[in-house]
Amino acid sequence: MTAIRQLAAFTAEHPRGGHTPAHIEIAKRALLDTIGCMFLGAAAPVTRTAIAAATSWGAGPCPVYGAGTTLPAPWAALANGASAHAFDLDDYTLAANDHPSAVLVPALLAQSAHDAAGESVPARSGAELLDAYLIGLEVIIRLGEAVNMGHYNLGWHTTATIDSFGATAAISRLKGLNAEQSAMALALTPSLGTGYNSQFGTSAKPIHAGWSAKTGIAAAALAAAGASAYDGALDGGVSFASLMTPAGSAKFEEAFTGLRRTWSLDNWGLGAKLYPSCGYTHRSIDGARAVYDQFGPLTASDVASVRLSLPTHHLAILPFGVPETQNEALFSPAWCAAVALVSGHCVSSDFLPEAVADPERRALAGLVDVVAREPRRPELNVDPEDPDVVEVVLRDGRRWREEVPRWRGAPGREMTEAELLMKFEDVCLRSGLDGGAVSAISGVVRGLDELPDLRELRAVLDAPRSQSEPSAPAA
């Protein structure tokens, strides 16, 4: 069987209702976290841009959450995916080095809203939504195992490449496509979009997440309507493997062993973010927060030097020093460390235009020396045995050195339930949602596996925003 046929068989034939309580919990946490990110990013310029473009393509029944508008399913998925990824605060896997839920959740919410608006599709249950999410996530992790880190290090943005297959699998599962239809949907997927790491620091990066969500909906719909495609598009002679990975590096057979018996999710887990920036800045932020805990808030006049040590393959996508825009600040280790040294935290407001223009923070960021080091094991995405290092020397002679092997929220250092809820409440309130709406959404998502249909979820997600709108994040 080709790699696509193996994924299609898993997508169509894995027993429904066979998920463990631990997997259901992962899916519910991911859904809640992503909904918060969508509301936070709803006012972002990239989201407004996506809505403005899509509105001209026709009306539809699927909400863009927090934006007060509806669109056809593919374009609602595009807009919601862009908003979920606008602040880079959404979750990730280390296997695929991606942002899976910013793709999967918008696609599934848009497809379910589209189905609810028709009369021929049975009502979707909360359990069906969680099941489809878990199928899509497992496809993403398995593909990450098969092609990374070689695929990513060539410059491909895996949220745009690998995650589009996950979205296609999730939508195929939700729609009940058979193995043949699922295979054609997955085979169509690499023809419908891609993305490069060179786009980081621009609006294109969050659009990649939305485009992958849209691709999943489109590929599944085309396959259901009878479209055909080459089922060797992942591992054939001319394929994803031959064109988008280093020669001979793809390992589908190894990655797909036990595909229908075991779950790679159990090995890799799913990381959640405490900080609204590229994950590769997070060890530096944790280190800077440890310095803050020792010395309190610092200014440029207090500091003689700040030195960050990061591996070369992380710095390759963190090219910005003192940033000029929020997009650049999200990928600036110097900026992220500086705001943590000043305030002891790193939150979405630290990336708004007025924060990026703050002269004191800019002065401190200008003192940060970011040094590349060769990784001990370059085949690993993040190596806990090769920690990032933050070193600060103050003008009065005091100094601190902090090694950070895992950042907060990473697999092995997961967020607690209380931290997840605190993050969700914070981003929703920052977005302008009132406290009652925040509690209602949280309550419904926590009981999603018991919902016989998704009407209650759609009702709380459509809750009105408060009168206090946030400053638009410049994504």
Tell me the backbone φ, ψ of residue 469, rounded to 5 degrees: -85, 145
Report residue 118 as tokens. 């028709």
Q: Is residue 434 part of a domain?
A: no
- Give pTM, 2 decimals: 0.94
Across 141-196, the runs of DSSP E, i.e. the strands, are: none
Is there a single domain that holds both residue 155 and residue 212? yes
**Beta-strand relationship, 388-394 and 368-373:** unpaired
**Beta-strand relationship, 62-64 and 69-71:** antiparallel
Is there a single domain that holds both residue 31 and residue 172? yes
Distance separating alpha carbons of residues 70 and 51, to the nearest angstrom: 9
Domain of residue 233, CATH code: 1.10.4100.10
Distance separating alpha carbons of residues 472 and 414, to the nearest angstrom: 30
Is there a single domain that holds both residue 133 and residue 254? yes
Report CA 269 to chain centroid distance, whole Å: 14
How many structural domains is the chain composed of? 2
Residue 45: strand, helix, or coil: helix
Tell me the backbone φ, ψ of residue 396, rounded to 5 degrees: -85, 5
> Between vectors from CA 240 to CA 237 and to CA 243, what angle results, nearest 5°?
75
The domain boundary residue, chosen from 268, 289, 317: 268
What DSSP string describes 60-77?
-SEEETTTTEEE-HHHHH
For the chain, the farthest-separated pair of C-alpha atoms sits apart, in whole angstroms, at: 73
- Which domain covers residue 17, as residue numbers? 3-268
pLDDT tens across 208-222, in order?
A: 999 999 999 999 999
Q: Is residue 85 part of a domain?
A: yes
Is there a single domain that holds both residue 209 and residue 290? no
Is there a single domain that holds both residue 13 and residue 59? yes
Is there a single domain that holds both residue 40 and residue 165? yes
Q: Are 413 and 271 in contact (CB under 8 A)?
A: no
The domain boundary residue, chosen from 404, 428, 461: 404
Q: Is residue 459 part of a domain?
A: no
Q: Is residue 451 part of a domain?
A: no
CB atoms within 10 A of CB 464: 10
Is there a single domain that holds both residue 65 and residue 173? yes
Q: Which residue has the tokens 């990013």?
A: 41
Is there a single domain that holds both residue 244 and residue 148? yes
Tell me, what's the pLDDT at 464? Answer: 59
Is there a single domain that holds both residue 285 and residue 240? no
**What is the C-alpha radius of gyration for the chain, rounded to an integer number of angstroms?**
22
Tell me, what's the pLDDT at 474? Answer: 35
CB atoms within 10 A of CB 39: 29
Q: Is residue 230 part of a domain?
A: yes
Q: Is residue 224 part of a domain?
A: yes
Q: Is residue 422 part of a domain?
A: no
Domain of residue 400, CATH code: 3.30.1330.120
Is there a single domain that holds both residue 199 and residue 318? no
Tell me, what's the pLDDT at 472? Answer: 39
Is there a single domain that holds both residue 122 and residue 251? yes
Distance separating alpha carbons of residues 285 and 334, to the nearest angstrom: 9
Give the end-to-end CA distance of the chain in Å, rounded to a whole number: 42
Q: Is residue 364 part of a domain?
A: yes
Which secondary structure element, helix H or strand E, spans residue 373, and what is its range? strand 368-373
Q: Residue 422, preceding bond cis, omega within 30 degrees?
A: no
Residue 328: strand, helix, or coil: helix
Is there a single domain that holds both residue 237 and residue 286? no
Residue 449: strand, helix, or coil: helix
| Intervals of the chain under pLDDT 70 | 463-475
The domain boundary residue, chosen from 345, 376, 404: 404
Residue 408's closest CA among 395, 422, 394? 422
